[in-house]
Amino acid sequence: MSELLLQGGRVLDKAGDRLADVLIDDEGRIAEIGKGLKGKETLDVQGKIVSSGFVDLNAYLGGPEDQLSETIISGTESAVKGGYTAVVAISRNPVVADNASSVKALIELSEEALCETIVSGSATLHNDAGTMSPLGEISDAGVKLFSASGPPLTDFETTRRIMEYSQKYDITLLYSCSNSYLSPKGVMNEGAVSSQLGIPGIPAVAEEIEVFQLSQLALLTGANLHFQQISTAKSIEIINEAKSNGASITCEVSPHHISLDESFITSFDARYKVLPPLRSKQEIASVKELITSVDAIATGHSPCQDHLKQQAFADAPFGTTGLEAALGASIMHLDIPLKEILRLMSWSPAEIAGIAETHGGDLVPGRPANLAVFDPEATWVVKGDQAASKCSVTAFEDIELKGLVSHTLVNGKLVVIDGVVQDHGR
């Protein structure tokens, strides 16, 4: 008899939507999906959704050089609490995976994770955008996703060279178009609110220019690009046009960019200081109208030490946590079918990350049981001090969301039970 039975849930995957039990064998794989099944242990999931686990394409999880903002353990505890069974660990200062040794150290650290952790490399040395890192050497260590973000894009010769070399090693380049030479001192969205507050702004067009430039280079070189944390409707339109012309491009939006607007910054609370910045209500509405042409929802999970967010708005670091709030923010603020939300949070990002054989997609016998169980109707209020992340400062503080994860299974193992992360003797 198999090990665990998820009984009475609504199974929702890429193939369809049905009421069924899910039987998981003692090797952590799906044994059978149907009605009237039996197992050694039974978990009652009536009234809840059973789906493939979520996949995040954009999370900072710390590293050897930074154990104070987040660690692999605390970061993946936060991930599984939010229903994620796989995350892409982004390379950013001070944790820069720009050589094989640093990559191998991060991969070794990731063995402590509660879910699959995919280490991304840095496409440039020290994330300086001017010197290409040894892509082949890093790729040979098993890395297929490379962060190509850094200072403002002005060295297009190096950018083009990186794109050309990326095809040789069959890698995907991750670009965050938020470091603009148009607004080096900007810390919030440029517009009426920034003028009213006297805070330097970042114009939406800064992102859009960079998206256009990179899209044209993708068309020229044939490189695979993924745009991170797109925050304007015009950027999405530029990406869609490039796709229609044959560019191999995907893009993501973040939960906070579809649910929080620049008016929160009138409090001068640095928890709302994120990059790209929170946009206007009108911009958010326009982005949401185009959401079905977006490829993924990714958290942009970017924790820091709590005290750093207590500084003046201009001095505090950019970033917010997002792994535990992503599902609730998406269900609450997107007027689209639940299946479409799961496409954005699970099936499509699994394909982009190259892990569709084990995450996302169809729930069928023989696949690893990487699953999320959640109540799509449950409402809850975000409290940062109850989060699993080391960082308790979140832009979602005291905000009501809809949709709450109760259980997460990674390779058939229950790592979250009734919303509580389990201790597996790490």
Whether residue 237 lies inside any domain: the answer is: yes
Whether residue 26 lies inside any domain: the answer is: no
pLDDT band at 150 (very low <50, low <70, confident <90, very high): low
Whether residue 41 lies inside any domain: the answer is: no
Q: What is the pLDDT of residue 255?
A: 98
Whether residue 396 lies inside any domain: the answer is: no
Amino acid at 318: F
Which residue intervals of 133-203 are DSSP H helices? Answer: 135-140, 156-168, 192-197
Q: In the predicted model, is pLDDT for residue 271 greater than 60? A: yes
Which of 291, 296, 264, 294 lies closest to 277 in space, CA to CA?
264
Compare 33 and 158 and report the one with higher pLDDT: 33
Q: Quick one: average pLDDT of 250-268?
A: 98
Whether residue 283 lies inside any domain: the answer is: yes
CB 299 within 8 A of CB 274: no
Q: What is the pLDDT of residue 153?
A: 61
Q: In the predicted model, is pLDDT for residue 127 greater than 80? A: no
Whether residue 235 lies inside any domain: the answer is: yes
Mean per-residue pLDDT of the chain: 94
Rounded-to-integer distance, Cα 233 and Cα 288, Å: 8
Q: What is the pLDDT of residue 2?
A: 64
Whether residue 107 lies inside any domain: the answer is: yes
Which residue bears the tokens 């993501």? 252
Total structural domains within the chain:
1
pLDDT band at 337 (very low <50, low <70, confident <90, very high): very high
Rounded-to-integer distance, Cα 379 and Cα 78, Å: 19
Per-residue CA distances from 66 to 71, 79, 98, 103, 115 (Å): 8, 18, 16, 15, 20
Per-residue CA distances from 220 to 169, 174, 242, 295 (Å): 18, 17, 11, 22
Q: What is the pLDDT of residue 1?
A: 42
Range of the domain at 58: 53-353
Whether residue 177 lies inside any domain: the answer is: yes
Which structure tokens are listed for 410?
């990674």
**Over the range 31-42, which residues count as b (16 or more CB within 10 Å of their CB) and which as e?**
bbbeeebebeee
The domain that holds 185 is classified in CATH as: 3.20.20.140
Q: In the predicted model, is pLDDT for residue 220 greater than 70? A: yes
Which structure tokens are listed for 19?
């009421």
Which residue intervals of 82-197 are DSSP H helices? Answer: 100-110, 135-140, 156-168, 192-197
Residue 298: in which H helix or E strand, if any? Answer: none
